[in-house]
Structure 1
Amino acid sequence: MKPVYSKLATAALLCSLGTTLHAAEVKVTWQEPDEYRDIDPANQSRGAFRKQVFTNLEEYFNELAQDLPDDAVWDITVTNVDLAGQVWPASFVGFGSTGGEVRLIKSVDIPRIAFSYTLTSGSGEVMKSADVSIKDMGFMDGLTQRNHWDNLRYEKRMLKDWFNEELSQKQLSRQ
């Protein structure tokens, strides 16, 4: 005879497997990425680095979209990216003659991103639309060490701050 709690645990597990996170649909277009101000790799091919950055930012836009209405469509066209820091030869910044490159993060090399977006309801009504150009001049202030492993931590925080001011449920309900 099986204990009752194992049947309950199995039922709970099966129910949780059927549960999905709801979020708006996100469509991201990278317009003329060869013209972006700074999406330069350090010790990686340009194509592989660009793909990694685009994938990470798309995943982050999807993460942000979890706070949008479930049936909404968030259509984003990115027109410029300027990552925090600059890429320099490793020997130039004091890492010896390794022959590689490093991204040196200094407070003067701020992250920036420009994009346009349209947020549409499930019925097709435009809820909000804008051309956006954001930058974070204080990007090195107050960032905790808990996400030091994330190469796009400055850009993501900048996007999160913008999102909270412009597209959070609280902001959308005011419209």
Structure 2
Amino acid sequence: MSKVKVTWQDPAAYRDIRPSNESRKGFRNRVFKSLSKYLNELAEALPQNETLSLTVTDLDLAGEVWPTMRGGAADIRVVDTLYFPRMEFSYELKQGDKVVKSAQVDLKEMAFMNRISRARSNDALRYEKDMLKRWFDEEFQDTLAKN
């Protein structure tokens, strides 16, 4: 059983989930699947009877997609300090059916390029995953300490 339920609400309105070299739908699905899987990995550290539900209302990936100057070439995602990752969501942490913690979160990682990454350097979502890891560890430190 999954410890996390992630709802990607109205993704067409997200700030930046643009692909650089694949279909918009395929890219979006790959991003959602990868981030949902990662959140599930993080949630494995929660106590056995706790589950987490997130409703994501905005996502802005690190970097910005720029068109290439050559005809027919794929666009590229330029990663620079100006284009930091952000994510807005609400969450509920439950013990059984009882909500024990909830919040509205506006997460941003402005110093993302100055931090040592725990994710693989070839992971296209490493900055977003690092941001989520820092948030998760800080937000649930009391719960994690009990486990």
TM-score, normalising length: structure 2: 0.91
Question: For the Cα contact (< 8 Å) 1:24–1:70, is it kept in 2?
Answer: no
Note the C-alpha offset of 1:46: 0.1
Can you list the C-alpha shifts for 1:43-73, whole angstroms capped at 9, x where unaligned? Answer: 1000000000000000011011011111212
For 1:102, the aligned partner's letter is I
d(CA) in 1 for partners of 2:58 and 2:47? 27
Q: Between the two proteins, what is the percent identity of the paired residues?
A: 47
Q: Report deviation, 1:25.
A: 1.7
Unaligned 5+ runs, structure 1: 1-22
Distance change (3 Å), C-alpha of 1:145 and 1:71: closer
Question: What's the counterpart of residue 115 of structure 1?
Answer: 89
- Give yes or no for contact 2:66–2:75 (8 Å, CA) kept in 1: yes
Do the aligned residues in 2 keep the contact of 1:24 with 1:69 (CA within 8 Å)? no
User: Larger Cα Rg: Structure 1 or Structure 2?
Assistant: 1
Q: Of 138, 142, 146, which residue of structure 1 is paired with 2:111?
A: 138
TM-score normalised by the chain length of structure 1: 0.77
The residue aligned with 1:52 is 30
**1:1-175 to 2 correspondence within 5 Å?**
25-91=3-69, 96-97=70-71, 99-122=73-96, 124-144=97-117, 147-168=120-141, 170-171=142-143
Kindly provide the amino acid, as one letter, of the partner of residue 110 in structure 1.
Answer: F
Where relative contact order (Cα < 8 A, 6+ residues apart) is larger, the structure is: 2
**Aligned-CA RMSD value:** 2.0
Q: Which residue identity does 2:106 align to in structure 1?
A: S
CA deviations on 1:99-143 (whole Å, 9 max, x unpaired) are 210100010100000100001102x22111000011001000133
* Matching residue of 1:19: none
Larger fraction in strand: 2
**Consecutive unaligned residues in structure 2, runs of 5 or more:** none
Give a deviation string over 1:33-52, Cα, whole Å, max 9, x none: 00000000001000000000
Letter in 2 for 1:107: T
Q: Which runs of 4+ in 1 moved over 2 A?
A: 96-99, 142-146, 170-174
Which SS does the other structure have where 1:67 is aligned? coil
